């Protein structure tokens, strides 16, 4: 795209952007003749992907701003009207909109709600920032046909995003995702209405405290041992951080109602789109929990909890018995919660017929061993919680299995079927109960995790990611995946690759005979998985929301004679070797 085309795209944007702030940004870039920045902002339209939008907040077609939000919402509204013509004709379509603490989230959310109203939807808009799981719950509870939450989850402060949901409370999946994308790309005119007019029409409804109470009561109803909590709550102290996001209002209230002592990190309690105390507002990043851990040491807390800005992810740390705290990974917490849920259902006679646990394909296979021993079906799905929700829907439709838990390694868990997305609030509540339960048995969460390692093997989980920004980065990522797909990997760190699963091509094959392939039933996705002779699995996938490729290493080592330290050292050493080889592959691509 040459300079004249870029400048023209910039001028076209200025003519259509109604927000002065964003319009002026682009005007100034054109005045300065800043072609590097202009090209990055206008070489493409910010892609409305299968989960919605995510990008840097700024003026331009490749940025997050009211113009891009308006087009996306009009396209989403057009698709819902097309998909549900009878309800549309009767004026019975409904939508709900929520937003987090990020910059312009409230602006983008209000614009979204008003476009829905202008297109005939009765639209519910939260009166302030709310977490993503509450939006998912609201869709089903209010009988909505679609929903949107304005959030960029755990991304840095310069980002914002837009997640689109269907009437089941889950982010959109095929065939709706491609249908919505087609409608977004063909928007000719955006309908809108003023907020005053929308309120007067009765089509815009502001919701708040009353709905929050329903959400909180639903979460408390999922707990297994309310009597234990009532009797023992004073014995457990929780330090919590919402990382400047939406979680405090619900985590504090739910845990407080249960009688638990919750100390929230004061510097991180209030919503703040700058996220001033952390480099990344992501509980997966150890540094994000530093302030909480420091406070926990002062308070002698039993567990540290954290949620990300939209409170769908949950992270934790526990005392190591030596005066410090150890972080619990997403895979480890998933296994602990699975273990506790199955144990409770067995003990309390609440195990449903044909119970099932769902995990993503890049999540540790440790839970597979746990489920096999407990006689519970383990279902795999693609990465992203919408796929866990999709499998849950299949269970409900067919009656073949009963959902008991779903999670993925990236700190996402869903305890309840009422929510079809990951839920950091319910994970916090159940983690608190689990902590109390094992305390009543004379154990810590770390004690129980180590018992599980000794029983099922120690699993070392490592993730590697590399950013590939801009148009050239997109091409580089495609080239890396193409090379891996074409050439495969015969060995990794001296271990033979026994089979390769290519999810995009829906096949499994041996690298020694790449022409003999067995079909698999997973939906197509750009993921490659390499299965090593020792049980290690290495997965490669480009991120669906960020300009990066991610590699996941999942390495099991049997614990011999209870020597957990030896197993950990062996697993770490092997993962380090694999990491170096992967880094070499990525470096060679540049």
**Are 165 and 243 spatial neighbours (Cβ–Cβ below 8 Å)?**
no
> What residues are paired with 164 via a beta bridge?
148
Closest CA to 159 of 269, 25, 286, 309: 309
Sign of CA dihedral 440, 442, 445, 449: negative
Phi, psi (5° rounding) for residue 152? Answer: -115, 25
Sign of CA dihedral 50, 51, 56, 60: positive
In the residue annotation, 579 being an active-site residue is answered as no
Closest CA to 546 of 158, 193, 236, 178: 158
For residue 518, CA distances in Å to 288, 499, 506 come to: 43, 11, 8
Q: Which residues, at least 6 apart from 90, have a Cβ–Cβ distance to it below 8 Å?
A: none
Q: Which residues, at least 6 apart from 306, have a Cβ–Cβ distance to it below 8 Å?
A: 240, 241, 242, 243, 283, 288, 289, 292, 314, 315, 316
- Rounded to whole angstroms, the Cα distance separating 544 from 463 reads 16
Phi, psi (5° rounding) for residue 220? Answer: -65, -30
- Rounded to whole angstroms, the Cα distance separating 558 from 564 reads 9
> What residues are paired with 307 via a beta bridge?
314
Q: Which residue has the tokens 């982010």?
A: 171
Q: Per the structure block, which two tokens stand in for 218?
A: 């639903």
**Are 292 and 240 spatial neighbours (Cβ–Cβ below 8 Å)?**
yes
| 94 class by beta-carbon count within 10 Å (0-12 exposed, 13-18 middle, 19+ buried) | buried
Phi, psi (5° rounding) for residue 76? Answer: -65, -45
Active site residue: 153, 316, 390, 539, which one?
153
DSSP letters for 268-309: GSS--TT-TT-SS--TTSGGGGHHHHHHHHHHT-SEEEEE-T
- Rg, C-alpha atoms of the chain: 24
Sign of CA dihedral 161, 165, 171, 173: negative
Half-sphere exposure of 5 (CA within 13 A, CB side): 7
Q: Per the structure block, which two tokens stand in for 93?
A: 């379509």
Q: Which residue has the tokens 């009353």?
A: 210
Closest CA to 330 of 313, 344, 342, 318: 313
Q: What is the largest CA-CA distance in the chain?
A: 72
Which residues are designated catalytic? 153
């Amino acid at each position: 795209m040459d300079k004249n085309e870029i400048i023209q795209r910039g001028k076209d944007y200025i003519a259509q952007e109604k927000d002065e702030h964003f319009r002026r940004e682009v005007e100034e870039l054109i005045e300065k003749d800043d072609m590097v920045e202009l090209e990055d902002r206008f070489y493409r339209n910010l892609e409305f992907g299968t989960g919605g939008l995510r990008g840097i907040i700024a003026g331009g077609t490749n940025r997050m701003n009211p113009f891009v939000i308006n087009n996306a919402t009009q396209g989403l509204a057009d698709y819902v009207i097309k998909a549900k013509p009878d309800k549309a004709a009767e004026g019975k379509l409904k939508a709900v909109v929520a937003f987090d603490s990020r910059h312009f989230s409230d602006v983008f959310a209000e614009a979204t709600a008003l476009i829905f109203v202008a297109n005939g939807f009765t639209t519910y808009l939260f009166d302030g920032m709310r977490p993503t799981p509450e939006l998912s719950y609201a869709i089903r509870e209010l009988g909505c046909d679609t929903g949107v939450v304005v959030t960029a989850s755990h991304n840095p402060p310069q980002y914002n995003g837009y997640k689109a949901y269907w009437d089941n409370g889950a982010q959109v999946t095929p065939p709706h995702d491609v249908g919505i994308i087609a409608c977004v790309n063909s928007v000719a005119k955006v309908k809108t209405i003023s907020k005053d007019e929308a309120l007067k029409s009765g089509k815009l409804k502001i919701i708040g405290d009353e709905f929050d109470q329903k959400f909180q009561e639903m979460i408390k109803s999922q707990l297994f041992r309310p009597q234990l909590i009532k009797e023992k709550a004073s014995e457990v102290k929780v330090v919590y951080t919402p990382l400047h996001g939406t979680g405090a209002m619900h985590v504090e209230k739910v845990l407080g109602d249960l009688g638990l002592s919750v100390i929230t990190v004061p510097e991180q309690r209030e919503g703040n789109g700058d996220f001033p105390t952390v480099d990344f507002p992501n509980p997966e990043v150890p540094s994000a929990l530093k302030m909480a851990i420091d406070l926990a040491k002062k308070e002698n807390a039993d567990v540290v909890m954290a949620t990300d800005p939209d409170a769908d992810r949950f992270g934790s740390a526990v005392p190591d018995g030596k005066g410090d705290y150890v972080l619990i990974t997403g895979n480890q917490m998933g296994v602990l919660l699975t273990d506790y849920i199955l144990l409770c259902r067995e003990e309390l006679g609440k195990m449903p017929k044909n119970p099932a646990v769902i995990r993503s394909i890049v999540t540790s296979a440790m839970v597979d061993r746990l489920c096999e021993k407990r006689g519970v079906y383990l279902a795999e799905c693609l990465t992203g919680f919408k796929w866990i929700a999709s499998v849950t829907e299949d269970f409900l439709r067919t009656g073949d299995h009963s959902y008991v838990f779903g999670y993925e390694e990236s700190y996402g868990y869903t305890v309840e079927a009422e929510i079809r997305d990951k839920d950091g609030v319910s994970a916090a509540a159940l983690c608190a109960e689990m902590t109390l339960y094992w305390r009543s048995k004379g154990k810590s969460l770390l004690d129980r995790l180590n018992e599980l390692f000794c029983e099922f093997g120690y699993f070392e989980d490592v993730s590697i990611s590399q950013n590939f920004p801009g148009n050239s980065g997109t091409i580089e990522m495609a080239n890396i995946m193409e090379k891996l797909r074409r050439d495969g990997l015969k060995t990794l760190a001296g271990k033979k690759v026994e089979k390769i699963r290519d999810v995009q091509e829906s096949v499994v094959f041996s690298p020694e005979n790449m022409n003999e392939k067995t079909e698999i039933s997973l939906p197509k996705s750009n993921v490659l998985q390499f299965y090593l002779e020792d049980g290690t699995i290495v997965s490669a996938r480009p991120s669906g929301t960020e300009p990066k490729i991610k590699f996941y290493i999942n390495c099991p080592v049997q614990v011999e004679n209870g020597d957990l330290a030896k197993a950990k050292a062996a697993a770490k050493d092997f993962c380090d070797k694999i990491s170096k080889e992967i880094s070499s592959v990525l470096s060679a691509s540049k």
